[in-house]
Amino acid sequence: MSRLCLKCGSELNDEYTCTNCGLKIDIYEKIQNTSKLLYNQGLQVAKLRDLTGAISLLKRSLKLDKNNIDARNLLGLIYFEIGEVVSALQQWVISKNIQKDNNIADYYIEKIHHNQHKLDTINSAVKKYNQALKYIEQKSEDLAVIQLKKVISLNPNFVKAYCLLALCYIHDNNLTKAKKILLKVLSIDKSNYVALKYYEEITSQDPEESKEKEKIYAIDKKQENYLIKAKPKKESRINPSVLQFGYVIFGVVIGLLVAVFLIVPGKVKSKTKEADNLRKEILTKENEYDTLLDSLNSDKEKLQLDLDEKNELAKQYEEKAANFEALENLQSAVAFYLDNDKEAAANKLYVVKSENLTSNSKQLYNKLRQEIYPVMAKNAFTEGSRLYSRGKSPVVEKNLNQAVAYFKTATKFASSDDYFADDLLYYEARCHQLLGNNKEAIDLFQKLIDQYPKSSFKTWSNNYLSQLKN
């Protein structure tokens, strides 16, 4: 949790209460989290085209936290979607006044202001809508219908204009057109109260709509049953040429039988003897192969035992070498610490592999680390923050690069439980963003959001992520 007040920026005491304005940070964060929850719900509802429900949720979100930039910008987008451009601009201008830098509302406002044709079209649509209201007050619904059609052609998503046009059609008892207009409104905003009320009124008046019966069309597939009648066999008559061909076949069959019973047995006997000789030769070769294989397996076992013994010796040597290296680095770190060179001591400690130390050496290692690491991390973070403040406006590349180096050192020695851990990620990400290192900035902003969901920098990180990804 940040040690700075979210309201006035002053220091917090040990009970996380502002020493300046007296704000209890935990209560303030609960309100902020509730506002963010309502914003997330509004976003999900908006994706389902329930724009009226989304507007209600976002208004409640802003009632809890008027500085919720995400909720205010989304509310502006929804107003823009239903054709209420003036209301949308109002929300974006308020958003811009709350957060002047790195606010996506700038893009929305500029997108409209820099398109003169779009502005003229919006102004014309608003004027014609107001004129239609005057015509209705004067009981001139036909003139109002003409004006509203022009409004819709200029602003195709202007929900209020659609609803007013549907009301004019209902007044003229033109229910078919009114229903078509209302369905268009519900395709834009499926829970629009006015459109739903008008549609209910229409369906209650239309007898075809009120029956609520479904016609069931059954498609019968007729199956045809075919009777297969056996045809009487006709008396066959053999052609003389066919009869001659049969005699030839009979002669061939007799010749084959003679070959099978007289010639084949002698050949079979000869082949059987050859097969027996070959089988004896194969058996001899198999015995020679088994003898050779047994000899090779015996040699293999001896070689494997020798190899295992050498591997064990090599493993012991590697362990001793690793223990010696770890102890040597630890001794160097202790020497630097005694010379009051904490930076060199910290760097040496960083390369020590503690798993290779003995229990006594590991106690010394942990004690030194607890004394040196927090000091190194805090000093590096403080120096990096100072360079970041000097380098961001106007951007001084040298200062920012130096700040990144200090932040990396602070990350190297800091713990995730340190009070400035989320600040460290945020400032390093901002340095990379200002230097144009977008990939590194995106990774760090995302890491902050994932690891510190309650951080005061989460909203800003989300805004910067949106800008970098777009």
pLDDT for 262 equals 55
Residue 344 has pLDDT above 80, yes or no: yes
Please tell me the distance from the alpha carbon of residue 429 to that of residue 444, in angstroms, as a whole number. 5
How many structural domains compose the chain?
3
| Cα distance between residue 461 and residue 389, in whole Å | 18
Summarised one tens digit per residue, pLDDT across range 382-391 is 988 888 887 6
- Which of 50, 79, 114 terminates a domain? The answer is 114
Percent of the chain with pLDDT over 70: 80
Rounded mean pLDDT of the chain?
Answer: 79
For residues 33-53, average pLDDT: 88
Q: Do 388 and 460 belong together in one domain?
A: yes
Does pLDDT of 429 surpass 90?
Answer: yes
278 in a domain, yes or no? no
- Same domain, residue pair 85 and 137: no
Q: Is residue 271 part of a domain?
A: no
| Segment among 15-19, 122-126, 321-325, 345-349 with least mean pLDDT | 15-19
Report yes or no on 219 lying in a domain: no
Note whether 85 and 142 are same-domain residues. Answer: no
The Cα 50–Cα 59 span in angstroms is 14
Q: Which of 13-17, 215-219, 294-298, 381-385 has the highest mean pLDDT?
A: 381-385
Q: Is the domain of 51 the same as that of 95?
A: yes
Together in a domain, 52 and 132: no
Quick one: 47 and 93 in the same domain? yes
Does the pLDDT at position 261 exceed 50?
Answer: yes
Residues 101 and 160 in one domain: no
- Mean pLDDT for 393-414 is 84
Condensed to tens digits (0 to 9), the pLDDT of residues 67-109 reads 888 989 998 898 888 888 888 888 989 998 988 888 888 888 8
pLDDT score at 216: 24
pLDDT at 158: 87
**Is 334 in a helix, a strand, or coil?**
helix
36 and 110 co-located in one domain: yes
Residue 275's pLDDT band, with cuts at 50, 70 and 90, is: confident
Q: What is the pLDDT confidence band of residue 115, given thresholds at 50, 70 and 90? A: confident
Structural domain containing residue 128: 123-209
HSE, side-chain direction, 13 A CA sphere, residue 290? 6
Say which CATH number the domain at 184 has.
Answer: 1.25.40.10
Q: Is 4 helix (H, G, I), strand (E, B) or coil?
A: strand
Q: Is the per-residue pLDDT at 14 higher than 90? A: no
Q: How far apart are CA 432 and CA 444, in angstroms?
A: 9
- Taking a C-beta distance cutoff of 8 angstroms, is the pair 167, 152 a contact? no
Is there a single domain that holds both residue 375 and residue 457? yes
Give mean pLDDT, residues 423-437: 91
- Residue 425, pLDDT above cutoff 70: yes
Q: How many other C-beta atoms can be found within 10 angstroms of the C-beta atom of residue 326?
A: 21
Q: Which two tokens stand for residue 19?
A: 């020493």
pLDDT tens for 359-395 read: 888 888 888 888 898 888 888 889 888 888 876 555 6
pLDDT of residue 255: 58
Q: Are 18 and 8 in contact (CB under 8 A)?
A: yes
Section 163-186 average pLDDT: 88
3-state DSSP assignment of residue 12: strand
Residues 381 and 465 in one domain: yes
Q: Which of 64, 81, 114 is the last residue of a domain?
A: 114
pLDDT at 213: 30
Measuring CA to CA, which residue among 131, 132, 79, 69 is closest to residue 105? Answer: 69
Q: Inform me whether the pLDDT recorded for 137 exceeds 80.
A: yes
Q: In this structure, are residues 25 and 1 in contact, taking their beta carbons and an 8 Å threshold?
A: yes
The pair of three-digit structure tokens given for residue 109, joined into one six-digit string: 């406002």
SS3 at position 229 = coil
Considering the domain architecture, whether residues 402 and 442 belong to the same structural domain is answered as yes
- Specify if 320 maps to a domain: no
**DSSP 8-state secondary structure symbol assigned to residue 261:** I
The residue that leads in pLDDT, 68 or 213, is: 68
212: pLDDT strictly greater than 50: no
Last residue within a domain, chosen from 171, 191, 209: 209
- Is a pLDDT exceeding 90 seen at residue 444? yes
Task: Please indicate, yes or no, if residue 269 is contained in any of the structural domains.
Answer: no
- The verdict on 100 and 29 lying in the same domain is yes
DSSP, residue by residue, 104-171: THHHHHHHHHT-HHHHHHHHHHHHHHHHHHHHHHTT-HHHHHHHHHHHHHHSTT-HHHHHHHHHHHHH
Q: Is 15 inside a domain boundary?
A: no
Query: CA torsion, points 61, 63, 67, 71, in degrees to nearest 10?
Result: 30
Provide the pLDDT for residue 419.
82
Q: How far apart are the first and last CA of the chain?
A: 30
Query: pLDDT tens digit string along 299-317?
Result: 888 888 888 888 888 887 7
Is position 296 within any domain? Answer: no
The answer to whether the CB of 381 falls within 8 A of the CB of 420 is yes
Listed range (12-21, 130-139, 167-176) with the worst mean pLDDT: 12-21
Judge whether 4 lies within some domain. no
Taking the CA atoms of residue 388, residue 393, residue 397 and residue 400 in that order, the dihedral angle to the nearest 10 degrees is 10
Q: Is 17 exposed, middle or buried (0-12, 13-18, 19+ CB in 10 A)?
A: middle
